[in-house]
Amino acid sequence: MDRIVLIGLNHKTAPIEIREKFAAVCVDTKGPLALLAQLRPLKESFYLSTCNRMEVLFSTSTLDKGISVVVGLLADIYSQTGAALKPYLYTYIDQEAVKHLFRVACSLDSMVVGEPQILGQIKQAYRQATEARTSGVILNKLLHKSFSVAKRVRTETRIGSSAVSVSYAAVELAKKIFQKLDGKIALLIGAGEMAELAAEHLLANGVEGIVVANRTLERALSLARRFHGTTAAWEELAEELNRVDIIISSTGSTEPILNAEQVKQRMRARRNRPLFFIDIAVPRDIDPAVNRIDNVYLYNIDDLQGIIDMNRAERVKEAARAEHIIAAEALKFDGWLRTLEVVPTIVSLREKAEEIREAEVHKTIGQLDSLSKEEIEAIEVLTQSVVKKLLHDPILFLKRTSKRTRKDLYLDVARKLFQLDEDQREIEREENELSLDSDKVS
Amino acid sequence: MNESLLLFSAITTLLYAIGTVGYLIYVIRSESTIHRIAFWFLLAGFVSHTIGLLLLVGNIKQMPVTTLPQTFSLFAWAIVGSYLAFQLKFNIRVLGTFVSPLAVIFMLLSSASPSQLIPSSQLFKSFWLTLHVATMFIGNAIFALAFCAGIMYLIQERQIKTKSFGLLYRRLPSLEVLDSLNYVCLTFGFPLITIGLISGFVYAGAVWRSYWHWDPKEILSVVTWLIYAVLLHERLAVGWRGRRAAIMAIIGFSAILVTFVGASIMLKSHHSFRFG
């Protein structure tokens, strides 16, 4: 049986100096992939490189030789000696390799646990592997499985559901206050990367419009254009509180620009509709006493950071549940791998044929109740010999297959042809989804 | 007959209690399956409760409010019924966590309180009285939901204001949803208790030849009605909402409890179940 090996390094095993070297060389992942394909002991290979990790996944029938040539290649690529590189590398074999890939795909191994980008990066790398024809039956199945495991983890655990950035945390809070952001208007006071990002996220989550206020009209106009919003006069900032619902403030002002009295006065005209202040500025723009007014909520940068820290901790907790799912799925994959041999395939082919035969015979005999014992016996014998003769050649073919170099390919086709795997349909659906994804990318 | 009624009451209480436990687990482990199980137990309890009440009505041939246990039981039934209806309409799952313990409490009160019959049961057969009882019970049950929504609002608002997020932060719906639940309950409950009060006066006028007796329960009922009238008026006129509306809903339901439980047990009146 072929062995599955994963060799790689990540932010935990290698310092940034090493990782950036890898990232610099491997902007074009096709390079290493082509080199991998030339390594003789490797049957299939897959190469992933992101800013925080590099992973080589391959299958081989000669374990030690496979590992040493891959380590040698990596050392060559990064112009290091194998011995110098080794302390940063991890090597996983079979089940452990499968589990590691699943953990990476589920973003359990990421710097920010639960961040969703990694799955897209794996899909991209897999697409390159299929284009370069370096992935075959085993890695195809394994990568597809990793996508579905990642999907399962995402829906069954809350690993990616809580905000870990300021702008997401702000949107999440806004939803806990307003439920829906549709029809709400946000006021952006001042400018700055974080504030603009928050405004963007609010818009993406349904906020109807952005009003921009800035000391310099020019800046206000350019921001308003960017968000398809309107501008408000700096002098009449407080008046805007009558019509906006969410205020993001990020000015360089050393004095508070809105005090509690100004806000309180506007609440009556607002008929107490809630106001949500997001004060990103340091020093703070909004008088902290504003938070004490009924139906007014004020969050400053530290408050938002507190939420983010809490959510990070929660993700780590959810990771334990994800590990459980991964262990179970890795076991399932192992089960499939074991069927990719000649004898198990013949057994399941016979079983399937016998199942069909029995079911059909049962149906026929059920309809004909006048049959004698001998006649029933004859039907049994007849059907058995039909099945046997039909399967004779395919089984002979499969037996000869064990001597072929690409036997996994033949076995895979045989299993698909007779639909011997129960989750066949699932796999096909995933394959369709993947090709749909690639359509979107192109 | 009495045994089977007791049996139904016990089964109902048990089902509600299991449902309550389910809803409490749901708060800790937010899984749809747990919610579904809890919901089905509550629903099963409601079905058994309904059968029990129908048997009782068939037996006594009048509204099941002739004794204190019956009254409590009917109120629990009305609360669960309104909750189930609201759940189907608005799907605020965690509301069940707050409502189902209330149902259990009233079922337990029902089995714990003495069951003397009111001597003159002839009094209970009248259209106006039926209307009075039906609207009052459903109206008050809806206010029980508003009470729960109010508590939920205060918890959630406190978490958002103080920026300390507990387990309930994720489970509880947004402030907007809780506040509109308060409003919806008010728009359903207020007309019902208004009809309830009027039909009560009409009935009193017909039976005792006087609409008003300075009976403690009458006074308390009018006070309760006034609390909700103020809340509704302020909501519509100046846009009262959020915390104040939640607190008013809690005060209002406390007044209902005093009226309903307190006056029935403690005070002597024609609404009371303890005659001399």
Q: What is the mean pLDDT of chain A?
A: 86
Assess contact for B233 and A283: CB atoms under 8 A. no
DSSP state at residue B262: I
Q: How high is the pLDDT of residue A429?
A: 64
Q: How high is the pLDDT of residue A328?
A: 92
Rounded to two decimals, the ipTM of the complex is 0.86
Q: What three-state secondary structure class fits B66?
A: coil
Q: What is the mean pLDDT of the segment spanning A406-415?
A: 82
Of A122, A156, A190, which residue sits at a domain end?
Answer: A156
Q: Do A297 and B243 touch (CB under 8 A)?
A: no
Over the stretch A187-216, which tens digit does the pLDDT of each residue have? 999 888 888 888 888 998 899 999 999 988
Dist CA B221 CA B133 (whole Å): 13
> Is position A427 within any domain?
yes
Is B173 in the same domain as B101?
no
> Is position A86 within any domain?
yes
Helix (H) or strand (E) holding A117: helix A117-131
How much of chain B exceeds pLDDT 70, in percent? 90
> What does the block give as tokens for A109?
């191994």
Chain A residues near any Cβ of chain B (below 8 Å): 173, 175-180, 268, 270-274, 291, 294-295, 297, 299, 303, 306-307, 310
Is A180 in the same domain as A145?
no
Dist CA B220 CA B226 (whole Å): 10
Is B132 in the same domain as B32?
no
Q: Which domain holds residue B156?
A: 126-276
Dist CA B68 CA B66 (whole Å): 7
Over the stretch A8-31, which tens digit does the pLDDT of each residue have? 999 888 888 788 777 665 555 556
Dist CA A317 CA A31 (whole Å): 39
Question: Which amino acid would we find at residue A240?
Answer: E
Q: How confident is residue A93, by pLDDT bands cut at 50, 70 and 90?
A: very high
Q: Do B242 and A294 touch (CB under 8 A)?
A: yes
Mean pLDDT lowest among B33-47, B53-67, B93-107: B53-67
Assess contact for B152 and B180: CB atoms under 8 A. no
Which among A176, A291, A306 has the least Cβ separation from residue B174? Answer: A176
What are the backbone dihedrals phi and psi of residue A28, each rounded to the nearest 5 degrees, phi first?
Answer: -100, 100
Q: How far is CA B182 from CA A324, B148, B156, B249, in A?
A: 42, 9, 14, 8
CA distance A143 to chain B (A): 29
pLDDT reading at A394 higher than 50: yes
Q: Which residue matches tokens 């449902």?
A: B19
Is A282 in the same domain as A186?
yes
pLDDT reading at A56 higher than 80: yes
Closest residue of B to A306, CA-based?
B163
Contacts of residue B153 in chain A, CB cutoff 8 Å? none
Q: Number of structural domains, chain B?
A: 2
pLDDT reading at A433 higher than 70: no
Q: How high is the pLDDT of residue B99?
A: 93
- Where does residue A339 rank: exposed (0-12), middle (13-18), buried (19+ CB within 10 A)? middle
Q: How confident is residue A164, by pLDDT bands cut at 50, 70 and 90?
A: confident
Question: Which amino acid would we find at residue B113?
Answer: S
> Is position B121 within any domain?
no
> Is position A323 within any domain?
no
Of B116, B140, B165, which residue sits at a domain end?
Answer: B116
Is A391 in the same domain as A353?
yes
Q: How confident is residue B276, by pLDDT bands cut at 50, 70 and 90?
A: very low
- CATH number for the domain that contains residue B76: 1.20.120
Over the stretch B177-217, which tens digit does the pLDDT of each residue have? 999 999 999 999 999 999 999 998 888 888 777 777 777 77
Of B116, B147, B182, which residue sits at a domain end?
Answer: B116
Dist CA A355 CA A351 (whole Å): 6
Q: Which domain holds residue A437?
A: 340-441
Is B132 in the same domain as B243?
yes
Of the ranges A332-346, A422-436, B115-129, B222-236, the best mean pLDDT one? B222-236
Q: How high is the pLDDT of residue A423?
A: 65
Assess contact for B231 and B247: CB atoms under 8 A. no
> Is position A216 within any domain?
yes
Q: Dihedral through CA B195, CA B201, CA B207, CA B213, nearest 10?
A: 150
Dist CA B9 CA B1 (whole Å): 12
pLDDT reading at A438 higher than 70: no
Dist CA B193 CA B228 (whole Å): 10
CA distance B33 to chain A (A): 12
> What does the block give as tokens for B270?
């024609």
Is B252 in the same domain as B142?
yes
More confident residue, A32 or B154: B154
More confident residue, A170 or B2: A170
CA distance B262 to chain A (A): 33
Q: How high is the pLDDT of residue A407?
A: 76
Is A29 in the same domain as A148?
yes
Is B112 in the same domain as B10?
yes
pLDDT reading at A334 higher than 80: yes
Over the stretch B207-264, which tens digit does the pLDDT of each residue have? 777 777 777 778 888 999 999 999 999 999 888 889 999 999 999 999 998 887 776 6
Dist CA B148 CA B151 (whole Å): 5
The DSSP bridge pattern shows strands A230-232 and A42-49 to be: unpaired
The DSSP bridge pattern shows strands A230-232 and A296-300 to be: unpaired
Q: Do B239 and A270 touch (CB under 8 A)?
A: yes
Closest residue of B to A302, CA-based?
B163
Assess contact for A122 and A167: CB atoms under 8 A. no
pLDDT reading at A114 higher than 50: yes
The set of catalytic residues of A is 51
Q: What is the mean pLDDT of the segment spanning A82-109?
A: 90
Q: Do A303 and B163 touch (CB under 8 A)?
A: yes
Over the stretch A293-308, which tens digit does the pLDDT of each residue have? 999 999 998 998 888 8
Q: Which of B92, B94, B176 to mutate to test the interface with A (most CBs of A within 10 A)?
A: B176
Q: How high is the pLDDT of residue A296?
A: 94
What ranges make up the beta strands (E) of A3-134? 3-10, 42-49, 53-60, 90-93
Q: How confident is residue B102, by pLDDT bands cut at 50, 70 and 90?
A: very high
Is A151 in the same domain as A183?
no
